[in-house]
Amino acid sequence: MKVVDTNIVAYLLLEGPHSEAARALHAADSDWQSESFLMVELVNVLATAMRSAKHPLTETLQTLAEAQHLMSAGLRSVEDRDVLNAAAHFGISGYDARFLVVARALGERLVTEDAKLRRAAPEFTCSLAEALAD
């Protein structure tokens, strides 16, 4: 099992600087878990890609369907109170805290390429490279 944030799923589905690593992580362990807010953030990433004319609507809708299939069994909801406690404790956004709360609840490290989040909570996070090395 891997707990991932939005950027890891985006790298898996959209070509980017960490796509090869995201594909390798998924090949090694396809049981990806996350907070349900991931889909809200991912839709925003897809809308941005579509606006920048990199992806037509039909391709974007297909990518969304792939994301929904990929994450359908692994999306979890967390208590807002837990999110606020984590945000206060680590000095991070409520958005980032949602993913961190899931990782902590599952006893796993959050895989993220968000360097600021990794610096704020190094004991509960890791990069793609670190996750692949485990």
pLDDT at 96: 98
Domain ranges of the chain: 2-133
pLDDT at 29: 97
**119/34 Cα distance (integer angstroms):** 20
CATH of domain 2-133: 3.40.50.1010
Nearest Cα to 42, choosing from 17, 12, 18? 12
Q: Is the pLDDT of residue 13 over 80?
A: yes
pLDDT at 134: 87
- Spatial neighbors of 132 by CB under 8 A, at least 6 apart, are 21, 24, 25, 28
Question: Which of the four pLDDT bands, split at 50, 70 and 90, describes residue 53?
Answer: confident
Q: Is the pLDDT of residue 54 over 80?
A: no
